[in-house]
Amino acid sequence: MSVSVGVLAIQGGFQKHAEMLESLGVEVKLVKFTNDFDEIDRLIIPGGESTALLNLLTKHQILDKLQDFCSRNPVFGTCAGSIILSKGSEYLSLIDLEVERNGYGRQVDSFVTDLGFMGNSIKAVFIRAPKFTRVGDNIEVLAKIDNSPVLVRQGNILVSSFHPELTEDSSVHKYFLNM
């Protein structure tokens, strides 16, 4: 059976994730409705604006289905997606991680840097990126910048504060596909 990856396509940068996955030969489903979850094996929650995304998920009555799917299947949240998955009363609270929205600065403070990941160097794009301020003991830190975690995993949940889909390096997406 081939793996079908959903990319939450309610708001934010979902198209670049879809393009990255398609370049890897992966079947991609843009997830917009609750029944779309029945057609996928794993999910990417893209960057965007976390408050707007949460409001749209609630308005379209997708939040409960998303919570259920993410509690049982591999999920990758980037930037705003990491905020949605993190600890906090208004979020899904599926990963033992606390975040500071825009912790790496505003839009004008955006930057690209190299990170060590799985023994290799990868490019990481930070755009109004959240900072991971508290990482639970059961979290595996996969990449850091200045000793601060920026890519972490807890069980079936992978989150990054940066945008791997905005580079040509597919290492992080390949890692997610093999979780």
Q: Which residues are catalytic?
A: 79, 163, 165
> Which secondary-structure segment (H or E) carries 113?
strand 111-117
Q: Is 153 annotated to bind ligand? A: no
Q: Is 127 annotated to bind ligand? A: yes
| Inter-helix orientation angle 63-72/50-59, to 10° | 110
Q: Is 42 annotated to bind ligand? A: no
Q: Is 128 annotated to bind ligand? A: yes
Full strand arrangement of the beta sheet holding 157-160: 27-31, 4-8, 42-45, 75-78, 157-160, 148-154, 140-145
Closest CA to 82 of 96, 69, 71: 96
Q: Is 134 annotated to bind ligand? A: no
> Which secondary-structure segment (H or E) carries 143?
strand 140-145
| Residues 164, 170, 171, 175, CA torsion sign | positive
Token pair, residue 170, equals: 């597919």
Q: Is 27 annotated to bind ligand? A: no
Binding-site residue numbers for L-glutamine are: 48-50, 101, 127-128
